Amino acid sequence: MQYVLISVAIMAVVTYLPRMLPLAIFKKKITNPWVKSFLAYVPYAVLAAMTFPAILYATSSLYSALAGLLVALVLAYYNKSLLVVALASTGVVFVVEQLLQVMGWA
């Protein structure tokens, strides 16, 4: 039980510090356009860095993962809804996995 409480306390500090430190350090409004642009892209970069490895290793085959990723990218490029992108890419991964099993490559 003590381990769980310590773990929760550490997680609380780790998630609180990145939110609190910029407010405590930077008192004035950021006016530098380069810094503002950099900070605007940080959430997207972090999300991509966390998401893409998970996509590639979530299936039993790299081929099915790449096929699902390609379908998701194409549908997202054409502004399809998140539900359509998720269902279509999941369906493609399922079909490719089944084809790989039938062909004996899995």
Q: Give tens-digit pLDDT for 49-94.
A: 989 999 999 998 999 999 999 999 999 999 999 999 999 999 999 9
Higher pLDDT, 25 or 65: 65
Q: What was the pLDDT predicted at 17?
A: 87
**Exposure string over 56-82, b if 16+ CB within 10 A, otherwise e:** eeebebebbbebbbebbeebeeeeeee
Query: Do residues 84 and 76 touch, judged by C-beta distance below 8 A?
Result: no
